[in-house]
Every structure is written in C-alpha cells, then in structure tokens.
A and B are shown apart, each in its own frame.
Chain A
C-alpha cells in the first residue's frame, strides 16, 4: 500500500505543478501539503465510485480549504471522475475546473468552497442528513490551519460535538504558514489540539505525510463513537518540491515554466 500510495501522491503532485504552471496562478503550497491526506482518502479509505457519483451511501469530502483545489482535482481525475486532459484547463474561462471547487461544474466535487471557515458546518449538515436517513457514510472535511482563525469553524466545532457527529472526520492541514506569514505571527492558532479537545472532540495528531499514520488515524476516528474526530496533520507547506517547502512565498504563486520543469524533474526522480 505504501508503495502504491507514494506513486499516486507523486502523480498528483506532478499534476498540481503542471496545472498551476498552465494556469499561471493558483496555490501550490497548500495543495502540496494536503496531497498525501487526499491520496489516502481517495485511493484507500473513501467509499466512492466515479461510475455512481450520486450513490446516497457514498462517503463525502468537503475541501474547506478550497484554495487547495488543484490537489482535489488531481485526485478526482486520477480516480476517473473526469478526463485527465481537463486538468490543464484549470482557471480558464471555458473550464469546469474553477479556481476554487464548484460542485455545480465539476464531477466529484461535493461542495463549493472558497470562502474559508464554512466547510465544517457543511460537513456537519451532511452527517446530520446521513443520520436522519440511517446511512453509514462518513464525511471528511479538510481545513487549513490559517482557516481555523475563522470564527465559524468554532461554531461548527461546537455543533458537531453537541450533536455527537461521530461520522464527521476533520483534518487540519497544519503546515504552519498562511499568506501573510507564520500562523502564530499572523494570529495564534496553537494549541490546535487542546482547543478541539476542549470543544468535545476526539483529537489525533499525526505526520500528515505518513500514509500509514493517516490510514490508522482514519480507522481510529471511525472506531470513536459519540463524538467527532479531528486529525491534526503536521505537514510541510509545498511538500515534495524542495524550493517550495516551508516557503510562505509559495502560498499563492504559480511556478514559471522553468520553475515547473525543475519541480517536475525533482518529482520524477522520486
């Protein structure tokens, strides 16, 4: 599994670089940091079938940090929701691949996101619907660490715990950087684990680039009854492309053609 997952995640990273270079804009840093989590979800853990995309029993994923859309699109294309050739149309005016995920245009996208802080509430709503209908699907929500500065995240954290939504499994992609700099310089978010714990959540902290650890955490979350789980994934912004790693400058800038070649060569060697 490790080997396959590494291959898949590397292909997704290649796609992300190619997409962003073709688009000339977008967010590489947070796409690359969330890539391994998405790979494990889409290619190991999530119950989804591109041939039956509206199956009411399917697992759902809300990419609350919508600016990581390239990583989601790479996973969806790899999974077969739409042709891989579509990827290079990202952010173009005739493309179904919007700059931030749009459920109205892109097959496999479960929720339109982009304005930060709303995804966890949406995930809660999906989980409440599943409970009402006696369905057993899980709802995954991927948040950014900067995103949890939004007050609504804590409204949603409160309500997920209040309603005991044990089918909500949230991730915080803790890459420690946001547009204006280090999280804690911009606005202190730490300690993330203690905050969620105080709100009544089951909290797990893992290495967000360790496929085995991601998988184990998801299984542990599923085994936890009566409360939601948040997995604080310690990640590296720009992971996999050495000159992007831990560099805040790569939050929202696309690589030039030359930089993209350099990044692809590095990924190809992996």
Chain B
C-alpha cells in the first residue's frame, strides 16, 4: 500500500487523542495538509490553530507542556526547523519540555512548491539541539508507531514526515523500538543504513546487488538521534563498509551521525548519499528524488564503487 507518512500521522494522532485526553494538537494554518486536521475534526476543543505564526506555535506548545499537556505542534519541516528554531531551542529543548515538533513535507519529495518549501537541513538542525530526539519513519505503519512512541516518551521530539506517498515496508503489528534501529535484511558485504522513504529504495538496491552476488544488509535507522550506536558499530565490524542514504542534505544528517560513531569506535569506509549541498527545486516529488541521486540505482552504483 502506498500511503504518505503525514496521513499516518493524522490518523494515529486522532486515535491517540481518544485514549489520552492530555494530547493536544497545534498547527499554523496547514492542518489540512499536515493532516493534524484529522485530530481537529475529532477533538476540536483540543486543537489550536495558531495562524501563520510558527514562532507563536512552538512557544505556545511549550506553555501547554509545562501544564502536563502533550502537544503535537505541526507545520512544514522547513518552517519548524528554520523559522521557529529559536523557539524550539529556547522554549522547548533548553527546558526539556514534552513537546512533539512535527515537520511534514520534508525533503525534495515535497515537490512542486520548490526549494523554498523543501527542508534539506532539518535533520542536521534538529540533531544538533541538546535534549532533542529525531525520528524519521520509513512508511505509514512505522509513522503510526512513531506517533504512539512520541506520546509515551517524555521530552522534546522531532518527527519528520513526507508529503509523498511511498511503499509500505512493514507488516501491521510491527514492533517498533524507538531507540533501536531495525535490520530489515541481513547481509555481510556492505551495510546500507537508511531512514524515511529511502528505506524501500535501500531494500530495492539490496535486491539488485544480490543479483550481482553482493550481500547487502539494510538497516532502517528511524531514530537518527540518539542513534543506535551498537547497531552502527556492528554494521561496521561485520560488513566492513557502510553506505548511508537520507532524503535530506548529506551535511549533518543521518550520514554524519553514522560517520561520528564509526570514526569514534570502528573506522571503516563510509559513503554518504543525500541531497548534495544545494537547495531543492520545483518538479514532481518522485522525479526529483531520482534527479538528486536518492534512488536504488544510485545506491547500487555507490556500492559497486566502494
């Protein structure tokens, strides 16, 4: 099934809202497209539209959190990470408040709206904030699990969702562990560590590589921070080579997080695939992913060249 992770977010949040009355949702005039509107329709008294004012959105959420509420504050990833960064830093992360920052339409797969709207830096930015947990679910099943885990985890969290529908790679009932990466396919020659909608592409690449006699392990590193260090080290030791891929700038994101662990604990060659150091542009989301090298074919080429 092809479903966008943002759709899964709206559905899961509305389901959670029925169970936990402390869950509240805030949005900045994008609820119809971030899908927080699903929650708003079910629980209008616990939904607050803050208008086109992302700074106010994040700090209001912080105030709600000081009183025991569990606010999910949603907007496009680019506005969360960039426009409201100071509020996320000083009013949410510095006091360690229990706010869930939800960034949708992340990455170039956001598509036609163009580079102004395609967050490429959000993973790097959010990852650099003390106290912040950063999660990038691979598909709709995992996105729902992430929303439930976010409500249970006490503390600031950034949830990154995509606009574009992508293939479901998890079975219903998949047991999600927030702080453990998931080995989706075992292999011994190379480890491909991916997050978000790059996970199905990594699986495709592994299948193509298998035809060439290359055994590729695929890891879904949904939680970029704190990263599952033990799993990264195991990949380095057991596979000897690592390729990372993420739908974000290759500066400072998942690839960098993997490199930090590898450099500290088990140096092996690592090749990072991500958006080159550039902004996105208008186009069809799926086409842009291929154009920026965020494809199974590119992963295969990179592995061959390692």
Please determine whether chains A and B interact with each other in the same assembly: yes
Residue in A56, A114, A129, A158 whose beta carbon sits within 8 Å of that of B64 in the complex: A129
Residues A152 and B64 in contact, CB atoms below 8 Å apart: no
Residues A126 and B66 in contact, CB atoms below 8 Å apart: yes
Q: Is B1 an interface residue (CB 8 A)?
A: no
Stretch at the interface among B3-11, B86-94, B202-210, B283-291: B86-94
B91-116 interface code vs A (CB 8 A; 1 in, 0 out): 10011100000000000000000000
Rounded to whole angstroms, the CA-CA distance of A56 and B67 in the bound complex is 8
Residues B55 and A122 in contact, CB atoms below 8 Å apart: no
Residues B69 and A129 in contact, CB atoms below 8 Å apart: yes
Residues B45 and A132 in contact, CB atoms below 8 Å apart: yes
Q: Is B232 an interface residue (CB 8 A)?
A: no
A135 closest partner in B (C-beta): B67
Rounded to whole angstroms, the CA-CA distance of A162 and B58 in the bound complex is 17
Q: Is A104 an interface residue (CB 8 A)?
A: yes
A138-161 interface code vs B (CB 8 A; 1 in, 0 out): 000000000000011001101100
Interface residues in B164-212 by Cβ distance below 8 A to A read none
Residues of B within 8 A of A113 (CB): 90
Looking at chain B's contact residues, the main secondary structure is helix
The number of residues on chain B lying at the interface, defined by a beta carbon within 8 Å of a beta carbon of chain A, is: 30
Rounded to whole angstroms, the CA-CA distance of A221 and B302 in the bound complex is 66
Q: Is B44 an interface residue (CB 8 A)?
A: no
Compute the total of residue contacts between A and B using a CB distance below 8 Å.
111
Residues A123 and B56 in contact, CB atoms below 8 Å apart: no
Residues B59 and A163 in contact, CB atoms below 8 Å apart: no
Given known pairs A111-B95, A115-B86, A115-B90, the reply for A122 and B53 (CB within 8 Å) is no
Residues B64 and A128 in contact, CB atoms below 8 Å apart: yes
Rounded to whole angstroms, the CA-CA distance of A60 and B50 in the bound complex is 22
Rounded to whole angstroms, the CA-CA distance of A162 and B59 in the bound complex is 16
Residues B95 and A125 in contact, CB atoms below 8 Å apart: no
Rounded to whole angstroms, the CA-CA distance of A156 and B59 in the bound complex is 9
B159 CB, nearest partner CB in chain A, Å: 19
A200 CB, nearest partner CB in chain B, Å: 14
Residues of A within 8 A of B66 (CB): 60, 103, 110-111, 122, 125-126, 129
Q: Is A133 an interface residue (CB 8 A)?
A: yes
Residues of B within 8 A of A102 (CB): 94-95
A38 CB, nearest partner CB in chain B, Å: 19
A117 CB, nearest partner CB in chain B, Å: 8
Rounded to whole angstroms, the CA-CA distance of A127 and B71 in the bound complex is 14
Rounded to whole angstroms, the CA-CA distance of A156 and B91 in the bound complex is 14
Rounded to whole angstroms, the CA-CA distance of A166 and B62 in the bound complex is 19
Q: Is B143 an interface residue (CB 8 A)?
A: no
Rounded to whole angstroms, the CA-CA distance of A117 and B65 in the bound complex is 18
A85-122 interface code vs B (CB 8 A; 1 in, 0 out): 00000000000000000111000001111110111011
Q: Is A124 an interface residue (CB 8 A)?
A: yes
Interface centre among B51, B60, B65, by most chain A C-beta atoms within 10 angstroms, is: B60
Residues of A within 8 A of B45 (CB): 132
Residues B60 and A125 in contact, CB atoms below 8 Å apart: yes
Residues A125 and B61 in contact, CB atoms below 8 Å apart: yes
Residues of A within 8 A of B63 (CB): 62, 111, 121-129
Q: Is A24 an interface residue (CB 8 A)?
A: no
Interface residues in B60-83 by Cβ distance below 8 A to A read 60-69, 71
A110 closest partner in B (C-beta): B66
A66 CB, nearest partner CB in chain B, Å: 9
Q: Is A215 an interface residue (CB 8 A)?
A: no
Interface centre among A56, A114, A125, A156, by most chain B C-beta atoms within 10 angstroms, is: A125
Given known pairs A112-B90, A115-B90, A158-B51, the reply for A129 and B59 (CB within 8 Å) is no
Residues of B within 8 A of A155 (CB): 50-51, 53, 55-56
Residues of B within 8 A of A104 (CB): 94-96
Residues A121 and B67 in contact, CB atoms below 8 Å apart: no
B285 CB, nearest partner CB in chain A, Å: 31
Residues of A within 8 A of B68 (CB): 56, 129
Rounded to whole angstroms, the CA-CA distance of A171 and B86 in the bound complex is 23
B55 closest partner in A (C-beta): A152
Rounded to whole angstroms, the CA-CA distance of A23 and B65 in the bound complex is 32
Rounded to whole angstroms, the CA-CA distance of A20 and B137 in the bound complex is 49
Residues of B within 8 A of A115 (CB): 86, 89-91
Q: Is B48 an interface residue (CB 8 A)?
A: yes
Q: A60-B66, A125-B67 are in contact. List 12 more A-B contacts (CB 8 A).
A: A115-B90, A117-B55, A118-B55, A121-B91, A122-B91, A125-B61, A129-B64, A130-B67, A152-B55, A155-B50, A158-B56, A159-B60
**Nearest 4 interchain pairs by C-beta:** A125-B63, A121-B59, A129-B67, A155-B56
Chain B residues in contact with chain A, CB under 8 A?
24, 45-46, 48, 50-51, 53, 55-56, 58-69, 71, 86-87, 89-91, 94-96
